[in-house]
Homo-oligomer: A and B are copies of this chain.
Amino acid sequence: MVVQLGTLYGISVGPGDPELITLKGLRILKKVPVVAFPAGSHGKPGISQSIVGHWLQKYQIQLPLNFPYVQDRVTLRRAWQQAAEEVWQYLDLGQDVAFVCEGDISFYSTFTYLAQTLEQLHPQSLVQRIPGVCSPLATASACGEPLTVRSDRLAVLPALYNIEELETILDWADVVVLMKVSSVYPQIWKVLQQRQLLENAVVVERATLPEQIIYADLRDRPTLKLPYFSLIIVKVTPSI
């Protein structure tokens, strides 16, 4: 008897508010026997695990997968391979697996490493992606402002490795999103100050969660103690 392969679903669960998952994402999440997610650290649950906690069924297997926060490619590749093989064990038995990820599954997501490694190791794998709400758009809604309008040119920088890059993009774009800004915030602040853009910039931490904080004008905030998933939106040219 040939068992039909299970499907790996990448389910975007949105930025934090559990109600910001899509109907499609929730429908699939509820029907799969196995729910995988990036494991938390220091004994805390992972972010996406927390977001979907409310929706999980008692009979579902929860599968935390280890994606270490390191730069070393060998360590990373080994972790991805191990995660892919753990998932494959279920797929090979015909069981569907939903991997849940905060934000959107195609937008700087851990899911990419899992899916690509799985497809390398087991090219017959079936993978489906369910899109969702990404953090820049959730942040804009939380601020009560559009992210982009009309002919706005948008640039997104996931991390800032050198400050010249910020200068280049402020010359080009109408709207700039800087993600994960906690460690480089003071340098960004200085650039925005020189360009008189502090009034047009907003910092948001934990968008859409009850503990969300919005700093809507940065002129008096040369330093800020921010969590890892904070982002800045800069309106370089004023919208309508």
Contact = CB atoms under 8 A, between A and B. Distances in A.
Q: How many copies does the complex hold?
A: 2
Contacts of A38: none
Contact of A22 (B21, B127, B149, B161): B21
Contacts of A72: none
A129 B144 contact: yes
Contacts of A105: 141, 146
A112 B168 contact: no
A6 interface: no
Contacts of A21: 22-23
Interface string A150-192: 1111111111010001001100110000000000000000000
A146 B240 contact: no
9 contacts: A10-B141, A23-B23, A105-B146, A106-B146, A112-B239, A153-B165, A154-B155, A155-B173, A156-B156
